[in-house]
Amino acid sequence: MSKELIRLHNLCMAFDDELVLDNINLYINDSEFLTLLGPSGCGKTTTLRIIGGFTTPTSGDVTFDGVRINDVPPHKRQINTVFQKYALFPHLDVFENIAFGLRIAKVPQAEVEERVKEMLSVVSLVGFENRRIDQLSGGQQQRVAIARALVNRPKVLLLDEPLGALDLRLRKDMQNELKRIQQQMGITFIYVTHDQEEALTMSDTVVVMNKGRIQQIGTPEDIYNEPKNAFVADFIGESNILNGTMVRDNVVKMYGREFPCVDGGFAPNEPVDVVIRPEDIDIVPVEQGQLVGTVTNVTFKGMQYDIIVDFRGFKWLIQTTDYSPEGGRIGVRIEPEGFHIMKKSEYSGMFGDYSSYSEEYEELADAGVEDEEESEDEE
Amino acid sequence: MKNKLSRFSVPYVVWMGIFVVAPIIIMVIYAFSNGEGGFTWDNFAQMGAYGSVFLRSFKLALIATAVCLLVGYPVSYWLSREGASFQRIAMVLIMLPMWMNFLLRTYSWMTILENNGLLNQLFHKLGIIALYNNITGSEIEYFSMIGTQGAVVLGMVYNYLPFMILPIYSVIVKLDGSLIEAARDLGADSVTVFRKVILPLSLPGVLSGITMVFVPSVSTFAISRMLGGGTELLLGDLIERQFLGGAYNPQLGAAISLVMMAVVVICMLVMNRFGEGEEQAVML
């Protein structure tokens, strides 16, 4: 087990009486790739800025290697940051941008050259030394920003939505690249994103946040397979979230019917939230179905069809490779492993119903998220 | 490349032709002609006699520019770090005097600086003059402020300081805050952040500020005549005399204007070369 490097203890942050972080407790191990994941305004960037030293928490402690660093200014922390919009120095070329931290540390010229060269090869930018920043593409600027931070050999690298401005293709490439760099350098990465796929792809540990609170901490598999509440289930991937009753261990009741499942540890007849992933639902002929519903919408997604099925007024999302016509009646079966049972939480009933599902709606929601991110930066 | 002018640009082109290009051509013709209209270099040869005026003009303009920079940069810098509402009010206060004719403002400096002006009266009341006499054993009735080079520089600084503050301020205030955070993140303390990030990135503002203060300062004539008491002859006064004064000689006046223009243009070219690559220079 690797050793603990950073600990956030009862961390609270308020801006003008508005609680942005509410009692955050988190420890981060050495050489770990940890992702803070959540919608905009969830406090993930604030958490990162506190670790970086740009913001002082209202209360609570930040310790680094066991030492409290609340009041240590950013330039004295062994932590470097890759900023959301890269924040490269426009008056310096690529070489001098990367060398910036070394120059301040008064590293001898020969060593500066050696280390910058080494970094350029790590981020695959050899030969770009004398380019001006405005002559680089977004992806290249991104790499310079990473090299500029890593050349100082920090113990921790903070990354604030570093791939947000890149197109999809480049984003996928950079995800692999970042993971490779992290493993090659063997240092801790703390990564902030609102993109759940990015988080699942790269991280050792994912911290899901919402409204200034940590919702769940776990490996990507844990988070996806065993979401702790409706918010996490909805935010990570697609989920149908239904009201149910845990009759006894391994039996859950929905729609007045009992289904076998593999969860336990609840009080008898405890009301619960039941999560069913759209890909865990099998479509079967009506007479063999555990439940029978009407298809109300079919969308071709390339790898699969997204179909919306109405089960007594509650609309489910099902992902399937078999085409079912709109208006048709279908039966569904769900394996016991397909049910994920969660205790009721403040989020119960807020997510997991696909009644308002439509493609346009999804796109609008995405655009909204990005706009909010923009305004968050300008503060 | 086709360079067809849109028909809407015609009035502008005509205007520029009549009021900018034609006067320059007339000036050049005058500068190279004698009283009878023949070609001559005499006008430039005569200028040697006025070398001291050239020197004084450039010296005072340089001092005024330096003072404006020394005062204007810190003001711009601190201003940009204040709250938004304070910045707005401060900007209005800085601009406010510029909405009044500068001759009026210079007249008021006359009444302030005169031998029995407001400032000397104040010194008298406060006993500063008596104190000075006691200490030095002199018997002055007033400090002579008007009619000195200092008064001329003061007039220039007072009139042109906003032209230094505005471009520097607008560059600094637009600086991306994340650049400063990035520098701190990379180990820079506040002095280093200023030296390695803020200062180099604000150079375009500084350059345009210097230009906007230096050029009008070097050619000013009202300020020097009113605050310099006519004793501190500057280029502007010299040129004016060739056209309006007793020394009527428009050919010489044109030649001096031409040389002054050339020197200013050369200064600006050198400056722009110095600031090359900083395209975001703010021109007001």
| Residue listed under structure tokens 């380019």 | A131
**Same-domain status, B17 and B109:** no
Q: How many domains does chain B have?
A: 2
Residue in B176, B192, B277 nearest the CB of A87: B176
pLDDT digits (tens, 9 = 90+) for A128-146: 989 999 899 888 998 899 9
Neighbours of A156 (CB within 10 A): 23
Contact B185 A75 (CB under 8 A): yes
**Distance (Å, whole) CA A261 – CA A248:** 10
**Distance (Å, whole) CA A129 – CA A21:** 41
B200 contacts in A (CB within 8 Å)? 91
pLDDT at A4 > cutoff 90:
no
Q: Chain B: give the shortest CA distance to residue A3, in Å.
A: 25
B192 contacts in A (CB within 8 Å)? 104
Decide: residue A157, CB within 10 A, 0-12 exposed, 13-18 middle, 19+ buried.
Answer: buried
- Three-state DSSP class for residue A156: strand
Residue B280 lies in a domain: no
Contact B182 A83 (CB under 8 A): yes
Task: Select from A273, A232, A231 the least CA-distant residue to A252.
Answer: A273
Residue B264 lies in a domain: yes
Query: Distance from CA of residue B239 to its chain's centroid?
Result: 18
> For residue A172, what are the contacts with CB-CB under 8 A and spacing of at least 6?
none
| Residue listed under structure tokens 């060398």 | A99
pLDDT digits (tens, 9 = 90+) for B176-194: 889 999 999 999 999 999 9
> For residue B259, what are the contacts with CB-CB under 8 A and spacing of at least 6?
B44, B47, B54
**At the fourth CATH level, which superfamily is domain A4-225?**
P-loop containing nucleotide triphosphate hydrolases (3.40.50.300)
pLDDT digits (tens, 9 = 90+) for B105-151: 888 999 998 888 888 889 888 888 888 888 888 888 888 888 888 89
Among A83, A102, A377, the strongest candidate for a mutation testing the B interface, having the largest count of B CBs within 10 A, is: A83
Q: Chain B: give the shortest CA distance to residue A136, in Å.
A: 16
pLDDT at B275 > cutoff 70:
no
pLDDT-derived band at B42 (thresholds 50, 70, 90) equals confident
**Same-domain status, B57 and B155:** yes
CB-CB contact of B65 with B213 (8 Å): yes
pLDDT at A312 > cutoff 90:
no
**Same-domain status, B25 and B144:** no
B196 contacts in A (CB within 8 Å)? 100, 103-104
Task: Select from A369, A353, A289, A377 the least CA-distant residue to A40.
Answer: A369
Domain spans, chain A: 4-225, 239-372
**Same-domain status, B30 and B93:** no
Number of residues that this document lists for chain A:
379
SS3 content of chain A, % helix, strand, coil (to 5): 30, 35, 35
pLDDT at A363 > cutoff 80:
no
Task: Select from B185, B256, B192 the least CA-distant residue to B218.
Answer: B256
Contact B184 A100 (CB under 8 A): no
Q: Which of A165-174, A244-253, A358-367 has the lowest mean pLDDT?
A: A358-367
Decide: residue A371, CB within 10 A, 0-12 exposed, 13-18 middle, 19+ buried.
Answer: exposed
- Three-state DSSP class for residue A196: helix
Residue B18 lies in a domain: yes
**Same-domain status, B199 and B137:** yes
Q: Which has more pLDDT, B68 or B137?
A: B68
Check residue B276 and give its pLDDT: 55
**Distance (Å, whole) CA A230 – CA A150:** 38
Q: Mean pLDDT of all residues in chain B?
A: 86
Q: In the structure encoding, which two tokens stand for residue B100, read together?
A: 């009044």
What is the extent of the structural domain holding B206?
Answer: 50-274
Q: Could you tell me whether strands A257-260 and A270-276 are parallel, antiparallel, or unpaired per DSSP bridges?
A: unpaired
| Amino acid residing at A75 | H
Task: Select from B51, B41, B18, B54 the least CA-distant residue to B251.
Answer: B41
| Residue listed under structure tokens 């930066």 | A377
Q: Which of A185-189, A312-316, A372-376, B152-156 has the lowest mean pLDDT?
A: A372-376
Q: In the structure encoding, which two tokens stand for residue B83, read together?
A: 């709250």
Contact A101 B187 (CB under 8 A): yes
CB-CB contact of B190 with B98 (8 Å): no
Q: Mean pLDDT of all residues in chain A?
A: 86
Cα distances (Å, whole numbers) of residue B239 to B36, B253, B280: 20, 5, 35
Residue B168 lies in a domain: yes
Q: Chain B: give the shortest CA distance to residue A104, in Å.
A: 6
| Amino acid residing at A95 | F
CB-CB contact of A285 with A361 (8 Å): no
Please give the residue of chain A at the shortest CA–CA distance from B197: A89
pLDDT-derived band at A356 (thresholds 50, 70, 90) equals low
Residue in B185, B188, B192 nearest the CB of A81: B185
Number of residues that this document lists for chain B:
284
A141 contacts in B (CB within 8 Å)? none
Check residue B3 and give its pLDDT: 60
B185 contacts in A (CB within 8 Å)? 52, 54, 74-75, 79-81, 149
Among A91, A107, A141, the strongest candidate for a mutation testing the B interface, having the largest count of B CBs within 10 A, is: A91
Q: Is B278 on the interface with A (CB under 8 A)?
A: yes
**Same-domain status, B19 and B74:** no
Cα distances (Å, whole numbers) of residue B175 to A84, A131, B68, B178, B198: 16, 22, 22, 9, 8
> For residue B66, what are the contacts with CB-CB under 8 A and spacing of at least 6?
none
Q: Could you tell me whether strands A205-210 and A33-37 are parallel, antiparallel, or unpaired per DSSP bridges?
A: parallel
Q: Is B179 on the interface with A (CB under 8 A)?
A: yes
Contact B181 A81 (CB under 8 A): yes
**Distance (Å, whole) CA A87 – CA A90:** 9
pLDDT digits (tens, 9 = 90+) for A148-162: 999 999 999 999 988
Q: Which of A316-320, B16-20, B273-277 has the lowest mean pLDDT?
A: B273-277
Task: Select from B219, B119, B280 the least CA-distant residue to A133.
Answer: B280
Residue B45 lies in a domain: no
Among A104, A106, A153, A373, the strongest candidate for a mutation testing the B interface, having the largest count of B CBs within 10 A, is: A104
Cα distances (Å, whole numbers) of residue B74 to A291, B78, B156: 75, 6, 19
Check residue A89 and give its pLDDT: 93
| Residue listed under structure tokens 């302030």 | B112
**Same-domain status, B147 and B13:** no
Contact B186 A100 (CB under 8 A): yes
Residue B252 lies in a domain: yes
pLDDT digits (tens, 9 = 90+) for A258-294: 888 888 888 888 889 899 998 898 888 888 888 888 8
Query: Distance from CA of residue B275 to its chain's centroid?
Result: 19
Check residue B38 and give its pLDDT: 81
Residue in A54, A73, A152 nearest the CB of B186: A152
**Same-domain status, B234 and B212:** yes
Residue B281 lies in a domain: no
B175 contacts in A (CB within 8 Å)? none
| Residue listed under structure tokens 């060269």 | A117
CB-CB contact of B157 with B68 (8 Å): yes
Contact A52 B201 (CB under 8 A): no
- Three-state DSSP class for residue A344: coil
pLDDT-derived band at A225 (thresholds 50, 70, 90) equals confident
Hey, which residues does A276 pair with through a beta bridge? A240, A339
Same fold, A4-225 and A239-372: no
> For residue A58, what are the contacts with CB-CB under 8 A and spacing of at least 6?
A12, A13, A14
Q: Chain A: give the shortest CA distance to residue B206, in Å.
A: 15
Q: In the structure encoding, which two tokens stand for residue A106, read together?
A: 């008064």
Residue in B186, B192, B197 nearest the CB of A80: B186
Q: Which helix (H) or strand (E) holds A341?
A: strand A339-343
Mean pLDDT calculated for residue range A200-210: 93
- Looking at chain B, the number of H-run helices and the number of E-run strands are 15, 0
Q: Chain A: give the shortest CA distance to residue B216, in Å.
A: 30
- Three-state DSSP class for residue B155: helix
Check residue A365 and give its pLDDT: 43
Q: Is B178 on the interface with A (CB under 8 A)?
A: yes
**Same-domain status, B23 and B62:** no
**Same-domain status, B90 and B111:** yes
Q: How many CB pairs under 8 A join A and B?
A: 62
Q: Chain A: give the shortest CA distance to residue B278, in Å.
A: 8
Q: Which helix (H) or strand (E) holds A142?
A: helix A138-150
| Sheet strands side by side (includes A329-334) | A281-284, A329-334, A291-300, A305-311, A314-320
Residue in A73, A83, A149 nearest the CB of B178: A83
Residue B22 lies in a domain: yes
Residue in B179, B186, B200 nearest the CB of A101: B186
- Three-state DSSP class for residue A284: strand
CATH 3.30.70.100 fits A239-372, yes or no: no
DSSP letters spanning B215-249? HHHHT--HHHHHHSTTTS--HHHHHHHHHTSTT--
Check residue B278 and give its pLDDT: 46
Residue in B182, B188, B200 nearest the CB of A87: B182
**Same-domain status, B137 and B205:** yes
Please give the residue of chain A at the shortest CA–CA distance from B179: A87
**Same-domain status, B258 and B164:** yes
CB-CB contact of A37 with A204 (8 Å): no
pLDDT digits (tens, 9 = 90+) for B221-244: 888 888 887 677 888 888 888 888
- Three-state DSSP class for residue A275: strand
Q: What is the pTM of this model?
A: 0.77
Check residue A120 and give its pLDDT: 92
Contact B181 A83 (CB under 8 A): yes
